Amino acid sequence: MTPVTLLQQAFQQTIYPVSGHGKRNIQVLKEVLNHCEDELDSDNYGSGPLIEDFQNDMARFFGKESAVFFPSGTMAQQIALRIWCDAQGIKKVAYHPLSHLEIHEEGGLKELHQIEAILLTDQDKLIRLEDVVQLKEDIACLLLELPQREIGGQLPAYEELVAISAYCREKGIKLHLDGARLLEVLPYYQKTAAEICELFDSVYMSFYKGIGGIAGAILAGGEAFTKESKVWKRRHGGDLISLYPYILSAAYYFKQRQFKMGQYYEEAIELAALYNDCPAVETLPVVPVTNMFHVHIGLPKAKLEALLVAMYEATGVGLTAYLKEVSETSCAFEVWIGDRYGQVPKKELAHAFEWLKTALRAV
Amino acid sequence: MTPVTLLQQAFQQTIYPVSGHGKRNIQVLKEVLNHCEDELDSDNYGSGPLIEDFQNDMARFFGKESAVFFPSGTMAQQIALRIWCDAQGIKKVAYHPLSHLEIHEEGGLKELHQIEAILLTDQDKLIRLEDVVQLKEDIACLLLELPQREIGGQLPAYEELVAISAYCREKGIKLHLDGARLLEVLPYYQKTAAEICELFDSVYMSFYKGIGGIAGAILAGGEAFTKESKVWKRRHGGDLISLYPYILSAAYYFKQRQFKMGQYYEEAIELAALYNDCPAVETLPVVPVTNMFHVHIGLPKAKLEALLVAMYEATGVGLTAYLKEVSETSCAFEVWIGDRYGQVPKKELAHAFEWLKTALRAV
């Protein structure tokens, strides 16, 4: 069994956890099902109104011809890249060095699809047009992740996206959007999802990040592309007889949170400012461009852990359940804003950050 | 949208459908969740008590070192074969020509894993020891499906299984059990699951066949095998943040139906006899050895369809929702016994079969 750390324990006992939507317990699914009729028929291996209607809604939302529901983004994105590689007759794609495909998928793209990935730019930077122009090898597809999660959810300027898209179209390079957090970028760009997706040949979005569903993802693109993706979904073992627990929760929480991303974004800016006001603390980016950012604190892990546990106990406010050791003298963690932030009384939050500031000064 | 046939419509309106457990609507999941505490924590990418406890229970049930929950059998089995091929350094396996891997998975084993399948025996026969002995090529693994679904759920004698297992061990061939319907074979063999699994190096079982869960599968074997299977599960995109809708329903319905397979088996024998008493009708096998069998009827599809629609309307008893055209003059369909059969009054069933007999005589 996975051991629970002291920090996790302390975080779980706080009255005011600050990050995310809430606990991932089965109440999240019960609430969805309680809003559905008992007699609602399951989807059936990718067919039936329950899945087809939702896919059609999502295709319209993205401004694409069609869309396919997948159990996971890992599966959806490998398949998207495989289809583009097969279409182009090139077994190479390019993406960021900290792409989900590179660091979280056990090399599935290589092991299952024999696709080689060219890593663009330094891992702490965003991909720029010049990185794409300077590519010396032919690639079938470029994958862009918006926002770039592993560097705090940074975003390129919209004009840069347009330029990359135009360049790829000119060169015949397919452009795929890792839009795991697609809704979360719309307030910054002040664009609709369809306006962003128009720049891409294919798009994936996750349903359990900002949307807060149980699991699952959607892949959208042209009719021929999505049709082929269904064949690969079957091959991967993702064409389940019933995906409805994920589909129903995706639809339910999408509707509930679709228009809350602007609020989360503003709250992220507010919270990041509180962090940046503390000694030895810096957020990445300093001013968030979505509902997420990373917090870097210049303290050794064990020391910071003890400090945070004490803070949670003293203030009832919980900042994070884990710490990533960056070096012997610094740690980092991810913050993303969901429903919880709005439930924390401003007074309690201010008090907690005063506590943190004082404690950090005393270190 | 998938069109609904007249036969499906008529079947859905019958008072007494005979096959299966019931409608696959969301009530099936609601019932499970209503028996769980709201605060029960989700599994988390394959970790947490919810998934780990269930995996441990299943490992014990199979008499194996450990077990891993998968979203689908397609994924679990390809991965099992891949692991055995890598271990043996041979990219070949052998299975039945009508194996799920051969006819329902869009060639995933070949396309994703570059594994070649050698098809043993004729498609209307069971694999015998002699088929394995006569193999001229080296294989990493032999997959046996118990029961052999596509030929009516037939089973080899237990002694034949023992002989195949002994031969494979002698020759260093890994033996994998496609036990999608593993519980369903136990009454015929009069063995425990562990006694059957002892003959195999790895075992897969499905949770939405006789058990009647929502979806999902389990893969069991030695510790090193299941550990490696988790890496491949991640690569396939099956390591979801939350699999609990499937796990909870698997556990719930496993408990509810684990000991009902003997009853379903006896009922299958009873129902098959009713079919075989009709002119131009024959079941495969004539006497079922599990809770399933196939029905072959010597009539053209359109004619039989009209006859069944009339029968459903006249008697309220529904036999099948679909017909497979075998030739211009014959059709077949699958029957599997679940909870529904016991709910059909014997009088109504007898009346329906009298109606069918009379109608078939008149054709």
Per-residue pLDDT of chain A (363 residues; tens, 9 = 90+): 567 899 999 999 999 999 999 999 999 999 999 999 999 999 999 999 999 999 999 999 999 999 999 999 999 999 999 999 999 999 999 999 999 999 999 999 999 999 999 999 999 999 999 999 999 999 999 999 999 999 999 999 999 999 999 999 999 999 999 999 999 999 999 999 999 999 999 999 999 999 999 999 999 999 999 999 999 999 999 999 999 999 999 999 999 999 999 999 999 999 999 999 999 999 999 999 999 999 999 999 999 999 999 999 999 999 999 999 999 999 999 999 999 999 999 999 999 999 999 999 998
Chain B partners within 8 Å of A24 (Cβ) = 41-42, 44, 241-242
Cα(A268)–Cα(A273) distance, rounded to whole angstroms?
9
Residues in B touching A243 (Cβ below 8 Å) = 215
- A107 at interface of B, judged by CB pairs closer than 8 A: yes
Q: Give which of A2, A8, A9, A26 to mutate to test B binding, by max B Cβ within 10 Å.
A: A26
Q: Which domains does chain B have, with CATH numbers?
A: 6-23+260-362 (3.90.1150.10), 43-241 (3.40.640.10)
Q: At B85, list the tokens.
A: 């091929």
Interchain proximity A73–B237, CB inside 8 Å: yes
pLDDT at B2 over 70: no
Query: How far is B236 from B97, CA to CA, in rounded Å?
Result: 25
Expressed in angstroms, the distance from the first to the final Cα of chain A is 35
Pick from A94, A35, A55: nearest CA to A216: A55
**Beta-carbon pairs below 8 A across chains A and B:** 168
DSSP state of A299: S
**Which residues 273-332 of B are in CB contact (within 8 Å) with A?**
none
Query: Residue A99 corresponds to which amino acid?
Result: S
B48/A2 touch (CB, cutoff 8 Å), yes or no: yes
Residue A63: closest CA among A252, A170, A205, A160: A205
Kindly tell me if the per-residue pLDDT of B1 is higher than 60.
no
Question: What pLDDT does A2 receive?
Answer: 61
Name the residue of chain B whose CA is nearest to A36's CA. Answer: B26
Q: For chain B, say whether A26 makes contact (Cβ under 8 Å).
A: yes
Burial A202-238 (b: 16+ CB within 10 A, else e): bbbbbbbbbbbbbbbbbbbbeeebbebbbbbbbbbbb
Helices (H), chain A: 6-12, 27-34, 49-62, 73-88, 100-103, 108-113, 129-133, 158-171, 182-189, 193-197, 223-236, 244-257, 261-276, 301-315, 339-343, 346-362
* Class of residue B5 by CB neighbours under 10 A (exposed 0-12, middle 13-18, buried 19+): middle
Cα-Cα-Cα-Cα torsion A288, A293, A298, A300, nearest 10 degrees, comes to: 170
Q: Which residue of B has its CA nearest to A24?
A: B42
Per the document, the length of chain A is 363
Q: By the 8 A CB rule, do A211 and A337 touch?
A: no
Partner A contacted by B248 (CB < 8 A): yes
Tens-place pLDDT, residues B307-316: 999 999 999 9
φ, ψ of residue A197 in degrees (nearest 5): -65, -25
Which pLDDT value is given to residue A259? 97
Nearest to B38 among A27, A75, A246 (CB): A27
Q: Cβ neighbours of residue A243 under 8 Å, at least 6 residues apart?
A: A43, A46, A51, A69, A71, A216, B215
Q: Does B72 touch chain A (CB under 8 A)?
A: yes
- The DSSP secondary structure of A49-60, one letter per residue, reads HHHHHHHHHHHH
The confidence score (pLDDT) of residue B3 equals 73
Q: Which of residues 206-225 of A touch B (CB under 8 A)?
A: 208, 214-215
Complex confidence, ipTM? 0.97
Q: How far apart are CA B240 and CA B183, in angstroms?
A: 26
User: What pLDDT sits at residue A306?
Assistant: 97
E strand segments, B80-190? 92-95, 116-119, 141-145, 174-178
Residues A238, B105: C-beta atoms closer than 8 Å: no
